[in-house]
Structure 1
Amino acid sequence: MSDLFAANPSETDKARPLADQLRPRTLDEVIGQTHLLGSDGTLTRMLSSGRLGSLILWGPPGTGKTTVARLLADRIGYRFEQISAIFSGVADLKKVFEKARFERLSGHRTLLFVDEIHRFNRAQQDSFLPVMEDGTVVLVGATTENPSFELNAALLSRSQVLRFESLAQPDLELLLERAETLLGSALPLTSEARQTLLSLADGDGRALLGLVEEVVTTVRENETLDASNLLTVVQRRAPIYDKAQDGHYNLISALHKTIRGSDPDAALYYFARMIDAGEDPLFLARRLIRMASEDIGNADPQALPLAIAGRDAYQMLGSPEGELSLAQVVVYLALAPKSNAVYTAFKAAISLAKSTGSPMPPKVILNAPTKMMKGEGYGSGYIYDHDTPEAFSGQEYFPEKLGRQDFYHPVERGFERDLRKRMDYFARLRAEKASSAKDLEE
Structure 2
Amino acid sequence: MADLFGDSAPAAPRQEASANAPLADRLRPRSLDDIVGQEHLTGPDGAIGRMVAAGKLSSMILWGPPGTGKTSIARLLADAVGLRFVAISAVFSGVADLKKIFAEARQMAKAGQQTLLFVDEVHRFNRSQQDGFLPFVEDGTVTLVGATTENPSFELNAALLSRCQVLILHRLDEKALGTLIERAEHEFGKPLPLTREAREALIASADGDGRFLLNQVETVFDVEPEAPLDPAGMAALLHRRVPVYDKDREGHYNLISALHKSLRGSDPQASLYYLARMLVAGEEPLYVLRRLTRAAVEDIGMADPNALLQCLAAKEMYDFLGSPEGEIGIVQACLYLATAPKSNATYMAQKAAWRTAKDSGSLMPPANILNAPTKLMKDIGYGKGYAYDHDAEEGFSGANYWPDELEPQEFYRPTDRGFEARVRERLEYWAERRKELNSKSS
Q: TM-score, normalized by length of structure 1?
A: 0.95
- 2: CA distance, partners of 1:408 / 1:9: 67
Residue 225 of structure 1: aligned partner: 229
Deviation at 1:153, TM superposition (A): 0.6
Deviation at 1:69, TM superposition (A): 0.7
8 Å Cα contact 2:14-2:30 kept in structure 1: no
Deviation at 1:374, TM superposition (A): 1.2
8 Å Cα contact 1:9-1:183 kept in structure 2: no
- 2: CA distance, partners of 1:325 / 1:247: 24
Residue 31 of structure 1: aligned partner: 36
Deviation at 1:322, TM superposition (A): 0.8
Residue 357 of structure 1: aligned partner: 361
Residue 420 of structure 1: aligned partner: 424
- 1: CA distance, partners of 2:428 / 2:44: 61
Deviation at 1:398, TM superposition (A): 1.8
Residue 56 of structure 1: aligned partner: 61
8 Å Cα contact 1:54-1:132 kept in structure 2: yes
Q: Secondary structure at the match of 1:125?
A: helix
Letter in 2 for 1:97: F
Q: Does 1:308 align with 2:312?
A: yes
Q: Does 1:400 align with 2:386?
A: no
- Which of 35, 39, 46 in structure 2 is aligned with 1:41? 46
Residue 3 of structure 1: aligned partner: none
8 Å Cα contact 1:9-1:182 kept in structure 2: no
8 Å Cα contact 2:14-2:29 kept in structure 1: no
Structure 1 regions of 5+ residues with no counterpart? 1-7
- Give per-residue Cα distances to partners, 1:269-319, cap 9 Å, x unaligned: 111111110001111111111110011111111100001101111111111
8 Å Cα contact 1:18-1:210 kept in structure 2: yes
Residue 375 of structure 2: aligned partner: 371
Q: Does 1:293 align with 2:297?
A: yes
Q: Does 1:18 align with 2:19?
A: no
Residue 105 of structure 1: aligned partner: 110
- Give per-residue Cα distances to partners, 1:237-260, cap 9 Å, x unaligned: 111110110111111111111111
CA 346–133 in structure 1, closer or farther in 2 if over 3 Å, else same: same
Letter in 1 for 2:275: F
Give me the identity figure in percent. Answer: 59
- 1: CA distance, partners of 2:51 / 2:18: 35
CA 9–355 in structure 1, closer or farther in 2 if over 3 Å, else same: closer
CA RMSD in angstroms comes to 1.4
8 Å Cα contact 1:193-1:227 kept in structure 2: yes
8 Å Cα contact 2:14-2:27 kept in structure 1: no
- 2: CA distance, partners of 1:419 / 1:128: 60
- 2: CA distance, partners of 1:45 / 1:347: 48
Letter in 2 for 1:272: A
- Which of 305, 320, 332 in structure 1 is aligned with 2:336? 332
Deviation at 1:9, TM superposition (A): 12
Deviation at 1:401, TM superposition (A): 1.7
8 Å Cα contact 1:364-1:380 kept in structure 2: yes
- 2: CA distance, partners of 1:99 / 1:364: 82
Q: Does 1:176 align with 2:187?
A: no
- 1: CA distance, partners of 2:116 / 2:360: 56
8 Å Cα contact 2:14-2:28 kept in structure 1: no
Alignment of 1:32-431 (within 5 A): 32-220=37-225, 222-431=226-435
- 1: CA distance, partners of 2:407 / 2:14: 85
Q: Secondary structure at the match of 1:308?
A: helix
8 Å Cα contact 1:172-1:198 kept in structure 2: yes
Q: TM-score, normalized by length of structure 2?
A: 0.95
Letter in 2 for 1:320: P
Residue 7 of structure 2: aligned partner: none
Letter in 1 for 2:277: R
Q: Does 1:432 align with 2:425?
A: no
Letter in 1 for 2:334: V
CA 434–419 in structure 1, closer or farther in 2 if over 3 Å, else same: same
Q: Secondary structure at the match of 1:390?
A: helix
